[in-house]
C-alpha cells in the first residue's frame, strides 16, 4: 500500500513537469515495468486435433477436457507456485513421488493439481493416434507372462476401471519391484506415489466420458482401447524397466 502510494506520487510529479509538452513526449519519462516472471506451468499441446480420436472419444469431450479441465490445473499450479517455489525448480515426477515432503499448507493443492496435470499429460500421449494397435516386443512378452494373454490383461485393467468408485484412474504399471500390475487411484492421485511407473492409464472421471457415454462407463472403457497407442506404451515399459 505504501509503495503504491509512493509510485502514484512520483507519476503525478512527472506529469506536472511535462505540462505543455505533447502527450507522446511523456513516454520516455516512464521507466518500463519489469516483465512478470514466465508462468511456472503452461498447458501442453495435445499433438493432435480434438477430433482425432473419433469415434472412440468425441470431439466435444476432448475439447472441454483439455482446454477446460486440464487448463484449470495449470491455472491453479501457477497460483500455487507463488506459495511453493519448488514447483518452479523441481521435476514434476520427483514432487509427486515425495508428496509427504510437501509443506502441509500446499500439499492437498499440489496433490490434486500437479497430479491432475501429470495424469492428463500422460493420458493425451498414450492416446496419440496412429501408433501400434496391439502390444509387441518386450511389453507383449511381459503381458503374456504376467496375465496369460493380452485379452486377460484387458479384463484385469477393465475391472480396475469399473471398480474405482467415483472419480479416479485405472493403470497398467511397472511397480517398485519391476512387476507388471494393474491398479487404480482415486481423484488425481498418480501411480508415482507408490513408486510405480505408468505404462497405460485411463481417466474414469465422469467428465472424461459423460457427453458421449452418459452413465455407461463400461462402454467408454471398451471404446477407449481403440485409442491406445501401443508404441508409446512400449516406450513407457522400456523406460520403466531400465
189 near Mn ion, judged by CB under 5 A? no
Pairing of strands 180-186, 168-174: antiparallel
Supply the minimum distance, in Å, between the C-beta of residue 142 and Mn ion. Answer: 28
Neighbours of 38 (CB within 10 A): 9
203 near Mn ion, judged by CB under 5 A? yes
Supply the minimum distance, in Å, between the C-beta of residue 44 and Mn ion. Answer: 14
Distance of alpha carbon 174 from alpha carbon 182, whole angstroms:
9
Q: Which stretch binds Mn ion (CB under 5 A): 89-97, 124-132, 202-210, 228-236?
A: 202-210
* Chain residue at closest Cβ approach to Mn ion: 203
Strands of the sheet containing 180-186, edge to edge, are 180-186, 168-174, 197-203
Supply the minimum distance, in Å, between the C-beta of residue 208 and Mn ion. Answer: 5
Pairing of strands 197-203, 168-174: antiparallel
Phi and psi torsions of 133, nearest 5°: -95, -5
Cell of 57: 472419444
Distance of alpha carbon 144 from alpha carbon 170, whole angstroms:
19
Q: Which stretch binds Mn ion (CB under 5 A): 79-87, 95-103, 148-156, 201-209?
A: 201-209
Count of residues in contact with Mn ion, rule CB under 5 A: 2
Supply the minimum distance, in Å, between the C-beta of residue 145 and Mn ion. Answer: 32
Letters for 39-78 (x = contact with Mn ion by CB under 5 A, - = none) are: ----------------------------------------
Residues in the site for Mn ion, rule: CB under 5 A?
203, 205
Amino acid at each position: 500500500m505504501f509503495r503504491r502510494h509512493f509510485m502514484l506520487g512520483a507519476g503525478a510529479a512527472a506529469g506536472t513537469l511535462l505540462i505543455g509538452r505533447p502527450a507522446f513526449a511523456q513516454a520516455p519519462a516512464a521507466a518500463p515495468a519489469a516483465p512478470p516472471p514466465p508462468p511456472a506451468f503452461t498447458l501442453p499441446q495435445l499433438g493432435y486435433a480434438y477430433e482425432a480420436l473419433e469415434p472412440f472419444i468425441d470431439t466435444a469431450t476432448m475439447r472441454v477436457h483439455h482446454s477446460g479441465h486440464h487448463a484449470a490445473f495449470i491455472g491453479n499450479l501457477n497460483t500455487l507456485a507463488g506459495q511453493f517455489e519448488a514447483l518452479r525448480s523441481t521435476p514434476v515426477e520427483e514432487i509427486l513421488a515425495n508428496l509427504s515432503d510437501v509443506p502441509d499448507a500446499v500439499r492437498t493443492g499440489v496433490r490434486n493439481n500437479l497430479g491432475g496435470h501429470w495424469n492428463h499429460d500422460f493420458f493425451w500421449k498414450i492416446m496419440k493416434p496412429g501408433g501400434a494397435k496391439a502390444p509387441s516386443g518386450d511389453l507383449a512378452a511381459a503381458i503374456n507372462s504376467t496375465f496369460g494373454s493380452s485379452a486377460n490383461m484387458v479384463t484385469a485393467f477393465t475391472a480396475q476401471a469399473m471398480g474405482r468408485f467415483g472419480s479416479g484412474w485405472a493403470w497398467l504399471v511397472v511397480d517398485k519391484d519391476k512387476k507388471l500390475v494393474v491398479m487404480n487411484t482415486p481423484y488425481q492421485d498418480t501411480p508415482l506415489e507408490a513408486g510405480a511407473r505408468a505404462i497405460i492409464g485411463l481417466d474414469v472421471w465422469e467428465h472424461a466420458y459423460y457427453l458421449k457415454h452418459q452413465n455407461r462407463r463400461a462402454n467408454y472403457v471398451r471404446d477407449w482401447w481403440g485409442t491406445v497407442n501401443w508404441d508409446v506404451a512400449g516406450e513407457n515399459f522400456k523406460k520403466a524397466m531400465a
